[in-house]
């Protein structure tokens, strides 16, 4: 390779009180797939945002085709041939694919094309993206929406494509499809910067990997020659035990269950719930696999009591019918809940960690409605220390914490209630490997203490490591559960694509 | 050049400083206004800010103006903390005044303490009822509380006008739209021997402190703040939204109703069409000036009371129209909301768009 497509020279980015990136040097050649790895808060997102023109570097230089450039905005980045697919898609659900793509393009560019619709169809065929320009985005699956985002980048001849954790929202079958597209692009000379937490994918796809730690480049390797475990060690930098296996257990005391729980969707594009039966047993972890948007949100809301539309007898706590109880009453029974949305649901962004501790410990920390502040402060401090939450102190606002640290805090807070039933959504979503195994151990300890635990996750590997029983959710239906020991990733993979429904219908017929 | 940068954490210092910065900016802008009106700004500020505090008579009048502002603003502060945009203090105050007057006009000089309490209670309950209407509409039909409370302000005003022209008009009052003067038995106790100020101000301050303690030291106050800051977090924690909404709205209505009662039972002594020179609206500004903190509201109400006093004095001393007060208030609220930007953002020097030249690097080293 002669001159690299993109080069970073000693690029640093300072935020108030934080060095997000510290003298990062990086080279990316044409047609190369480069993985950007690192723990949470290692500075991956900041780095790619600088390349995409969202932020500009505090120091250092960015070179594009051997010329120093200043990328002032994503518009400029797109004009140069840099495309980016964010974790959270920026598409309008009520518009069609065509309209969404048109909205994202510059006026100058639109003037140069004669028939955008034709180009969409051609590009879609060329890369086998199967995107129909006339469909409304709300009718598309998450995987299809991601392909719309990718297509949007491809319309303007893209030379560098940045993907921020693209596989976290996809089913295993969809991931392979995405990789095919990326490999094809790479063969045509397009460079790809791939951010991921999933090391297996990095070893399967990427030509080279750069590891960030604490904002600095900590290492570089050829993923083909490494194992997921050896790369993970480079990322965390110490001898954390990785992908531990925990002994599976089996009990028969049902604590919490739903009976034919059926619910209309809470928003127009949701899928609601259809005759859901699930049983949580004391001392067991029940894992619910599924691709995002298959009714998990509705299910979590109705189980936690945030949504009280269900009939009383559709949810039972031992022998009590609690379907119409609100979240406060269910908490008093011993229910704890770690929600998917950490900032804004699990924690109030503007409030301190101390006040956020009070959020779900209010009954214990007050007498006659007077808050016991010394006790509250102590509990908040303990939560921070025991869970290695990185923050200024207990008075730091929740919004100032990184996503992974806030998750550690919320997880610790809910576990500290010593709940009888714990509902846990995406426990390690966006959390680094070190913290993820700490969270896993916490859950296992809680299980061994006799808590019934429900884990809803999109990460099948995690569910297999953690859970004693597994089931899948697809379009608002939940499959039969099965002991983890008796199933395989392939089978659960089929289930989350709806495989269990036809099976059940066949069995009935 | 400067550019705005979001702060990692909200600035505590700025949340205290921003009302003072806003007051300072209001002073600067209104100085220009006074210059344009050919009034010496220094003289104007002496009239608006110093004179209300200058002697015991003015001080007493200042307390009279501040009391209804304080009473209304305490309730509004709690509403706004809970994200309930109650603009209806004015209407609730007027209805409270009408209800109190309805009891008071029939009271005689030998009426007992029971009648006195009934007169106050009528105002409090009527105010709370007037706040209950938009609350119920909001809970039942999800109506916009801003719109319904504003509409009810007008309805309240016309009920007042109907009352003074009709059932409550003084039969021996030569047809003036006013009620008879109330008997002493149903008048608020005076604060001092002389002057018109009543014990209402003491009640207001006590309630403000109690509300402040409730908001920051108790669980109901915490629930209220969580609900205002993040409704879905309150839902997640299992705090009942309905209960909080009803409590703050009824409380605010009761406080405004009490303000109306204490006006007609205190300094005015009868029901007149001009019970309130817009106290209920000005209380919105007071609530914000006091940082939506009931204790801060005490100081903010005194400040706003001084502005009202000042506008009276400005008419006498400087011959300025009362509309000047409205201009003052509007400018203040504008800067107040604008200054809150500083709590969440800070200004940092704009970086040069190009890479720093070698010269500026040398300068930096030289400075270090």
For A352, name the nearest residue in chain B, comparing CA atoms only: B9
Contacts of residue A16 in chain B, CB cutoff 8 Å? 5, 7-8, 346
Nearest to A196 by CA among A352, A42, A78, A401: A42
Cβ-defined contact of B233 to A68 (cutoff 8 Å)? no
Nearest to A295 by CA among A283, A284, A303: A303
- Beta-carbon contacts below 8 Å between A and B: 91
B237 touches chain A (CB under 8 A): yes
CB A471 within 8 A of CB A496: no
Cβ-defined contact of B237 to A396 (cutoff 8 Å)? no
Is it the case that residue B350 has pLDDT exceeding 70? no
Is it the case that residue B239 has pLDDT exceeding 50? yes
Give the range among A367-371, B13-17, B88-92 with minimum mean pLDDT: B13-17
Q: Are strands A33-38 and A208-213 parallel, antiparallel or unpaired?
A: parallel
What pLDDT was estimated at residue B324? Answer: 79
**How many residues are listed for chain A in this entry?**
509
B222 touches chain A (CB under 8 A): yes
H-assigned helices in A156-266: 172-187, 199-205, 228-236
Calpha distance A335→A345 (Å, rounded): 16
pLDDT: is B344 or B252 the higher one? B252
Calpha distance A376→A67 (Å, rounded): 56
Calpha distance A200→A226 (Å, rounded): 10
Is it the case that residue B72 has pLDDT exceeding 90? yes
Nearest to A323 by CA among A271, A263, A269: A263
> Which residue in the set B233, B239, B354 is minimally distant from A345, CB to CB?
B233
B232 touches chain A (CB under 8 A): yes
For A303, name the nearest residue in chain B, comparing CA atoms only: B236
Contacts of residue B10 in chain A, CB cutoff 8 Å? 350, 397
What pLDDT was estimated at residue B363? Answer: 41
For B6, name the nearest residue in chain A, comparing CA atoms only: A16
B13 touches chain A (CB under 8 A): no
Average pLDDT over residues B255-259: 97
Q: Is B146 helix (H, G, I), strand (E, B) or coil?
A: helix
Question: What is the value of pTM for the model shown?
Answer: 0.74
Which tokens go with A101?
């793509």
* Nearest CA distance, B284 vs chain A (angstrom): 23
Q: Is A53 helix (H, G, I), strand (E, B) or coil?
A: coil
How much helix, strand and coil, in percent to the nearest 5, is found in chain A?
40, 25, 35
Where, residue-wise, is CATH 1.10.3470 in chain B?
64-318
- In this structure, which long-range contacts are made by residues B316-322, counting pairs with CB atoms below 8 Å and at least 24 apart in sequence? B317/B47, B317/B51, B318/B39, B318/B43, B318/B44, B318/B47, B320/B37, B320/B39, B320/B44
How much helix, strand and coil, in percent to the nearest 5, is found in chain B?
70, 5, 25
* Nearest CA distance, A163 vs chain B (angstrom): 26
What pLDDT was estimated at residue A40? Answer: 60
Calpha distance A53→A76 (Å, rounded): 7
Cβ-defined contact of B230 to A362 (cutoff 8 Å)? no
> Which residue in the set A346, A355, A370 is minimally distant from B236, CB to CB?
A346
* Nearest CA distance, B84 vs chain A (angstrom): 18
Nearest to A457 by CA among A480, A487, A485, A423: A423
For A402, name the nearest residue in chain B, comparing CA atoms only: B8
> Which residue in the set A68, A328, A355 is minimally distant from B240, CB to CB?
A328
Calpha distance B138→A246 (Å, rounded): 52
Contacts of residue A397 in chain B, CB cutoff 8 Å? 9-10
Cβ-defined contact of B226 to A359 (cutoff 8 Å)? yes
C-alpha gyration radius of chain A: 24
Is it the case that residue B90 has pLDDT exceeding 60? yes
Nearest to A163 by CA among A172, A464, A154: A154
B291 touches chain A (CB under 8 A): no
Any idea what DSSP says for residue A190? -
- Which of B83, B219, B236, B347 best tests the A interface by mutation, with the highest count of A CBs <10 A? B236
User: Which helix H or strand E contains A24, and what residues bound it?
Assistant: strand A18-28
* Nearest CA distance, A41 vs chain B (angstrom): 14
For A60, name the nearest residue in chain B, comparing CA atoms only: B355
CB A166 within 8 A of CB A84: no
CB A203 within 8 A of CB A191: no
Burial class (CB in 10 A: 0-12, 13-18, 19+), A462: buried
Longest Cα pair distance anywhere in chain A, in angstroms? 74
Cβ-defined contact of B353 to A341 (cutoff 8 Å)? no
CB A184 within 8 A of CB A173: no
Cβ-defined contact of B10 to A397 (cutoff 8 Å)? yes
Contacts of residue B222 in chain A, CB cutoff 8 Å? 355, 358, 362, 371
Q: Is B112 helix (H, G, I), strand (E, B) or coil?
A: coil
Burial class (CB in 10 A: 0-12, 13-18, 19+), A352: buried
Cβ-defined contact of B233 to A337 (cutoff 8 Å)? no
Instruction: Return the bridge partners of A263, or none.
Output: A273
- Which of B216, B229, B233 best tests the A interface by mutation, with the highest count of A CBs <10 A? B233
Q: Is A217 helix (H, G, I), strand (E, B) or coil?
A: strand
H-assigned helices in A74-218: 74-80, 97-103, 107-112, 116-126, 142-155, 172-187, 199-205
- Name residues whose C-beta falls within 8 Å of residue B109's C-beta, 6 or more positions apart in sequence: B183, B184, B185
Q: Is A65 helix (H, G, I), strand (E, B) or coil?
A: coil
B360 touches chain A (CB under 8 A): no
Cβ-defined contact of B232 to A304 (cutoff 8 Å)? no
Cβ-defined contact of A348 to B355 (cutoff 8 Å)? no
For B228, name the nearest residue in chain A, comparing CA atoms only: A348
B12 touches chain A (CB under 8 A): no
Is it the case that residue B81 has pLDDT exceeding 70? yes
Q: Are strands A261-263 and A273-276 parallel, antiparallel or unpaired?
A: antiparallel
Is it the case that residue B366 has pLDDT exceeding 60? no
Any idea what DSSP says for residue A294? S
pLDDT: is A235 or B164 the higher one? B164
What pLDDT was estimated at residue B354? Answer: 44
Contacts of residue B350 in chain A, CB cutoff 8 Å? none
Q: Locate tokens 């997000």: which residue? A: A20
Instruction: Return the bridge partners of A220, or none.
Output: A210
For B8, name the nearest residue in chain A, comparing CA atoms only: A400
pLDDT: is A293 or B190 the higher one? B190
Contacts of residue A56 in chain B, CB cutoff 8 Å? 351
- Name residues whose C-beta falls within 8 Å of residue B147's C-beta, 6 or more positions apart in sequence: none
CA dihedral B265, B271, B277, B278 (to 10 degrees): 80
Nearest to A197 by CA among A235, A227, A160: A235
B239 touches chain A (CB under 8 A): yes
- Name residues whose C-beta falls within 8 Å of residue B246's C-beta, 6 or more positions apart in sequence: B135, B139
Expressed in angstroms, the distance from the first to the final Cα of chain B is 22
Average pLDDT over residues B259-274: 93
What pLDDT was estimated at residue B294? Answer: 94
Nearest to A273 by CA among A308, A298, A239: A298
Q: Give, in order, the Cα–Cα distances in Å from A452 to each of A419, A449, B59.
A: 9, 9, 66
Set out the domains of chain A in order of their start, with CATH numbers: 6-236 (3.40.50.300), 244-334+420-509 (3.40.50.300), 343-418 (no CATH)
Any idea what DSSP says for residue A247? -
Which tokens go with A129?
């993206």
* Nearest CA distance, A203 vs chain B (angstrom): 36
B226 touches chain A (CB under 8 A): yes
> Which residue in the set A17, A326, A396 is minimally distant from B240, CB to CB?
A326
What pLDDT was estimated at residue A166? Answer: 83
> Which residue in the set A72, A341, A370 is minimally distant from B218, CB to CB?
A370
Q: Give, in order, the Cα–Cα distances in Å from A55 to each of A10, A21, B158.
A: 16, 12, 56
CA dihedral A131, A134, A139, A141 (to 10 degrees): 10
Which tokens go with B191?
């604060």
Instruction: Return the bridge partners of A140, or none.
Output: none
Q: Is A162 helix (H, G, I), strand (E, B) or coil?
A: strand
Q: What is the dotted CATH code of the domain comprising B64-318?
A: 1.10.3470
Q: Are strands A315-317 and A421-425 parallel, antiparallel or unpaired?
A: unpaired
For A398, name the nearest residue in chain B, comparing CA atoms only: B9
What pLDDT was estimated at residue B361? Answer: 40
Calpha distance B142→B132 (Å, rounded): 14
Burial state string for B3-15 with b = 16 or more CB within 10 A and e = fewer than 16? eeeebbbbeeebb
> Which residue in the set A68, A347, A400 is minimally distant from B233, CB to CB?
A347
Contacts of residue A330 in chain B, CB cutoff 8 Å? 238
Cβ-defined contact of B236 to A327 (cutoff 8 Å)? yes
Is it the case that residue B237 has pLDDT exceeding 80? yes
Contacts of residue B229 in chain A, CB cutoff 8 Å? 348-351
Cβ-defined contact of B236 to A304 (cutoff 8 Å)? yes
* Nearest CA distance, B351 vs chain A (angstrom): 8
User: Residue A287, Cα to own-chain centre: how many angstroms?
Assistant: 16
Contacts of residue B9 in chain A, CB cutoff 8 Å? 392, 396-397, 399-400
What pLDDT was estimated at residue B259? Answer: 97
Which tokens go with A504?
């059940």
Burial class (CB in 10 A: 0-12, 13-18, 19+), B359: exposed
Spell out, as residue ranges, where chain A has pLDDT lower than 70: 1-2, 16-18, 39-41, 168-169, 197, 229, 232-233, 235-244, 267-270, 292, 430, 502-509
Calpha distance A207→A190 (Å, rounded): 13
Q: Give, in order, the Cα–Cα distances in Å from B122 to each of B81, B109, B266.
A: 27, 19, 15
């Amino acid at each position: 390779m002669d001159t690299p497509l993109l080069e970073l020279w000693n690029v640093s980015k300072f935020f108030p009180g934080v060095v997000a990136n510290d003298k990062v040097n990086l080279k990316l050649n044409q047609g190369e797939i480069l993985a950007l790895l690192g723990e949470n808060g290692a500075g991956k997102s900041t780095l790619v945002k600088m390349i995409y023109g969202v932020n500009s570097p505090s120091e250092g230089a960015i070179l594009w085709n051997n010329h120093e450039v200043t990328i002032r905005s994503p518009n400029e980045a797109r004009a140069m041939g840099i495309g980016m697919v964010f974790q959270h898609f920026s598409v309008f659900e009520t518009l069609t694919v065509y309209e969404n793509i048109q909205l994202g393009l510059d006026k100058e560019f639109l003037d140069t094309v004669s028939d955008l619709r034709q180009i969409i169809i051609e590009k879609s065929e060329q890369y086998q993206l199967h995107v129909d320009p006339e469909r409304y985005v709300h009718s598309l699956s998450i995987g299809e929406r991601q392909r719309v985002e990718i297509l949007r980048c491809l319309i303007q001849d893209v030379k560098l494509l940045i993907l921020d954790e693209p596989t976290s929202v996809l089913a295993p079958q969809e991931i392979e499809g995405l990789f095919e597209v990326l490999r094809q692009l790479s063969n045509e000379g397009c460079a790809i910067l791939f951010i991921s937490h999933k090391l297996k994918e990095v070893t399967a796809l990427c030509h080279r990997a750069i590891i960030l730690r604490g904002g600095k480049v900590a290492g570089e390797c050829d993923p083909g020659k490494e194992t997921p475990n050896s790369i993970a060690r480079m990322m965390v930098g110490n001898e954390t035990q990785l992908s531990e296996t925990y002994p599976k257990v089996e009990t028969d005391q049902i604590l919490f269950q739903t009976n034919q729980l059926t619910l209309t969707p809470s928003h127009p594009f949701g899928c609601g719930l259809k005759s859901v039966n699930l049983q949580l047993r004391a001392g067991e972890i029940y894992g619910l696999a599924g691709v995002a948007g298959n009714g998990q949100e509705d299910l979590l809301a109705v189980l936690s009591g945030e949504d009280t539309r269900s009939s009383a007898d559709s949810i039972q706590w031992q022998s009590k019918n609690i379907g119409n109880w609100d979240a406060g009453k269910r908490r008093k029974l011993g229910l704890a809940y770690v929600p998917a949305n950490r900032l804004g649901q699990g924690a109030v962004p503007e409030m301190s960690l101390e006040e956020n501790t009070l959020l779900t410990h209010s009954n214990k920390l007050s007498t006659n409605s007077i808050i016991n502040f010394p006790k509250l402060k102590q509990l908040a401090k303990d939560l921070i220390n025991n869970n290695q939450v990185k923050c200024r102190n207990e008075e730091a606002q929740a919004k100032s914490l990184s996503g992974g640290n806030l998750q550690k805090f919320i997880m610790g807070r809910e576990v500290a209630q010593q709940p009888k039933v714990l509902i846990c959504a995406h426990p390690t979503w966006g959390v680094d490997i070190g913290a993820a195994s700490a969270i896993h151990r916490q859950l296992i300890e809680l299980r061994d203490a006799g808590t019934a635990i429900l884990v809803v996750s999109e990460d099948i590997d995690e569910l297999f490591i953690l859970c004693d029983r597994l089931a899948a959710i697809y379009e608002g239906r939940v499959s039969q559960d099965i002991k983890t020991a008796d199933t395989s990733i392939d089978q659960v993979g089929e289930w989350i694509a709806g495989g269990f429904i036809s099976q059940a219908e066949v069995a009935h017929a | 050049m400067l550019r705005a940068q979001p702060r990692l954490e909200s600035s505590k210092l700025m949340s205290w400083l921003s009302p003072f910065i806003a007051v300072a900016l209001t002073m600067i802008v209104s100085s220009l206004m006074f210059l344009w009106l050919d009034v010496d700004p220094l003289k104007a500020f002496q009239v608006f800010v110093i004179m209300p505090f200058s002697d015991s008579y003015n001080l007493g009048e200042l307390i009279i103006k501040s009391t209804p502002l304080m009473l209304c603003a305490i309730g509004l502060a709690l509403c706004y903390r809970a994200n309930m945009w109650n603009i209806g203090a004015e209407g609730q105050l007027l209805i409270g005044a009408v209800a109190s007057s309805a009891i008071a006009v029939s009271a005689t000089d030998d009426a007992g303490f029971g009648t006195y309490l009934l007169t106050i209670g009528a105002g409090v309950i009527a105010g709370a009822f007037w706040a209950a209407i938009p609350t119920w509409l909001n809970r039942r039909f999800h109506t916009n509380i801003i719109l319904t409370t504003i509409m009810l302000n007008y309805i309240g005003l016309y009920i007042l006008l109907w009352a003074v022209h009709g059932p409550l008009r003084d039969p021996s009052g030569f047809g003036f739209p006013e009620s008879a003067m109330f008997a002493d038995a149903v008048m608020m106790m005076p604060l001092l021997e002389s002057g018109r100020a009543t014990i209402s101000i003491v009640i207001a301050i006590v309630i403000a402190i109690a509300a402040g303690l409730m908001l920051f030291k108790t669980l109901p106050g915490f629930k209220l703040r969580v609900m205002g800051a993040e409704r879905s977090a309150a839902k997640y924690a299992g705090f009942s939204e309905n209960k909080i909404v009803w409590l703050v709205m009824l409380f605010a209505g009761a406080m405004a109703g009490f303000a109306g009662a204490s006006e007609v039972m205190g300094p005015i002594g009868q029901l007149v069409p001009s019970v309130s020179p817009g106290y209920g609206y000005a209380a919105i500004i007071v609530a914000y000036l006091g940082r939506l903190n009931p204790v801060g509201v005490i100081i903010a109400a005194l400040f706003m009371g001084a502005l009202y006093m000042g506008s009276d004095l400005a008419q006498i001393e400087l011959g300025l129209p009362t509309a000047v007060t409205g201009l003052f208030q509007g400018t203040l609220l504008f800067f107040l909301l604008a200054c809150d930007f500083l709590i969440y953002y800070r200004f940092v020097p704009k970086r040069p768009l190009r890479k720093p030249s070698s010269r500026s690097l040398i300068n930096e080293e030289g400075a270090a």
